[in-house]
Homo-oligomer: A and B are copies of this chain.
Amino acid sequence: MERFESFEGGVCSAKGFRAAGVAAGIKYKDRKDVALIVADAPCSAAAMFTTNAVAAAPVVFDRSIAKYGCAQAILANSGCANACTGQEGLRDAVESVKATAATLGVDPRHVFIASTGVIGRRLPMKRLLAGMKDAAKNLAATPQAGLDAELAVMTTDTRPKQAAVKVKILGHEVTIGGMCKGSGMIEPNMATMLGFITTDCAITPGMLRNALKSAVTRGFNRVVVDGDQSTNDSVFIMASGAAGNKEIRHPDASFRLFRDALIQLIVTLAKQMAADGEGATKFVTVKVKGAATERDAELAARAIAKSPLCKTSWYGKDPNWGRILAAVGYSGAKIDETTAEVFYGKTWAYKQGKVADATQLKKLEAELAGPEVTVTVDLHFNNREFEIYTCDYSTEYVHINADYTT
């Protein structure tokens, strides 16, 4: 199915990058919580951030870095989001960046910062900076170093999420690797998503931004059900140019190859996030086809994916297709229930007014028994479709979120 060669890897897969992750005691003892990703030289860079009107201090700071399209290092921490911390929080962000630049010997205008964790608490600066210095000493270009960095940004994630892909561009092998954290994907209106991508492609900041935007739209934004975003959501990409390809400067064939490989990478990471949704027992792909318009397809898919009643039915392995249809019904999408169809996997549950009988229900229950299922709605108007990645809604989700700060 995949067009480009995927392989096990992360932020250290592409040439020109080192990483590290260390335990600095930001919130918990003996848990990795400070990460560094550092390029050997200044890179083309791009980033995308939360649209939340309440943006955390690191996001406010990073926006000023991102517009210049050049970066060499990213300092990230988990355990404290540095959000709703006012001017003091912004000063903490600036101080962290200055200290990181000094330690690494890089330009402070080339350092991003990312934080995730509890809102409304100041960063424990002493521990953070001690952790940063420790990480700087441990920088390496190995898979283990990439994994350490990933472990350091995880919060309620139960699994590290990394991926890498290779693409041949005019005879040069280009590598893109990445990692992300985020597992509040049930209805992630505040569960921070952080993504870090590195590549050795030679590409201008403008073209890199274009490619990132396409890939985030096709990947991360199809997990972030609802478009609701946390105060801290950020995705970064740095391109070292070490692959030696002719620099991509225009939206030509080389650009499209790079962009498509980046889309494949980010979709892979996005699916890993959905599958690791807080308390999730099932990875669910929701596909709406035959919609009257593309907008309708998206509205319907998002309504299903964010419906607690649909999500709890998946958890209960219950082919409750009525909830699916009803979600489409209130989504705003055009629907005629006499022609619409609902499928779990390849098995129909509701077919143009025909309702699953006991035999069919048995088949449907079998489709829902495993750890993955695709729910398809065919509206039978035009050939517009939209696909989104989500998960079920378990009692464990409530446990996780009922006392996250305490």
Q: Is the CB of B405 within 8 A of A54?
A: no
Task: Mark the stretch among A3-11, A21-29, A113-121 that contacts chain B.
Answer: A113-121
Q: Which residues from B are CB-within-8-Å of A186?
A: 308
A329 pairs with B393, CB closer than 8 A: no
Question: Size range of the interface on A?
Answer: 35 or more
Tell me the smallest distance from the CB of A332 to a CB of chain B, in Å. 8
Chain A binding surface SS class: loop
Say whether A170 faces chain B, with CB atoms less than 8 Å apart: no
Are the C-beta atoms of A330 and B120 separated by less than 8 Å? no
B residues near A404, Cβ cutoff 8 Å: 313, 316, 318, 320
A350: chain B residues at CB < 8 Å are: 84, 120
Which chain B positions have C-beta within 8 A of A142? none
A294 within 8 A of partner (CB):
no
A300-348 CB contacts (< 8 Å) to partner B: 303, 307-309, 312-313, 315-316, 318, 320-323, 325-330, 333-335, 337-338
Write the nearest CB–CB distance from A208 to chain B, whole angstroms.
Answer: 27
Chain B residue nearest in CB terms to A329: B54
Question: B-facing mask of A251-283, CB < 8 A → 1, else 0?
Answer: 000000000000000000000000000000000
Q: Give complex CA distance A52, B303 in Å.
A: 12
Which of A190, A318, A333 has its CB near the most chain B CB atoms (within 10 A)? A190
- Does B315 contact A402, Cβ atoms closer than 8 Å? yes
Please tell me which one of the listed residues B229, B330, B337, B401 contacts residue A313 in the complex, with CB atoms under 8 A apart.
Answer: B401
The 7 closest A-B pairs by CB, nearest first: A119-B322, A316-B402, A54-B329, A312-B401, A316-B403, A86-B353, A395-B395
